[in-house]
Amino acid sequence: MSHTQRLSPAAYQVYHRLLCWMWQSAPDYCSIESAPAAIACAISMSVGSVVEAMVEIQNPYSPLLKLEAGRLISFGLRKEANKQAERREKARRGGYARQGHRPPPAEVEEPSRRKRKGNGNMGAPGEFTAFIEAYPNAKPTGHKAAICAWLDMPARPPLAEMIGELNTQRAAGVMLPTPSQWLRSTYKKKVQS
């Protein structure tokens, strides 16, 4: 049963306005100075109506607001304010974690950060760059996927053999897929044979 049911309509109106003012205007979202004049000023009501309503609101057997250090406190609003502050802090920490731990964009020569199935090395310095330069119409936007495919190949054939196969396919008029797709299909052929 709600404790506000025992309030008269006038006292309920004061209590409701008081809670609204606390939530919207109080620095801590849950308190107000206990002086009747301060309450009347905050909720735009006469001091007399506030004094009458406070007798019902602060019933000695079951007061709706607690008096602490000269301020009336709503523990329900305090609990909600603390809960929202915790949510904001958690979201702030999560946002920093997402922004602070985001890996930098991959460079052409930089291996991917995720664990690979293959041997995980780029080969001799400049091998990948030579392969990409030899690949016809290779777009820089596909380099990251091509690096992943390059790293996934456990037994990479020699670079000269790969470039020779590329040139043979191009001379035969075969439409070449993206570098990553070509590397993966070459890897499958080598594993199957």
Domain ranges for the chain, please list them.
Answer: 3-99, 127-192
pLDDT in tens, 63-102: 999 999 999 999 999 999 999 988 888 877 766 555 555 4
What span, in angstroms and rounded, lies between the C-alpha atoms of 24 and 40? 16
Residue 42 to residue 79: CA distance in whole angstroms: 22
Binned at pLDDT 50, 70 and 90, residue 1 comes out as very low
Query: pLDDT tens digits for 128-187?
Result: 788 888 887 766 667 778 888 877 777 778 888 888 888 888 888 888 888 888 888 876
Q: Which architecture characterizes domain 3-99 according to CATH?
A: Orthogonal Bundle (1.10)
pLDDT of residue 115: 47
* Predicted pLDDT at 54: 92
Q: For the whole model, what pTM was predicted?
A: 0.48
**pLDDT for residue 173:** 84
Sorted by sequence, the CB contacts under 8 Å of residue 8 that are 6+ apart come out as: 53, 56
pLDDT for residue 55: 92
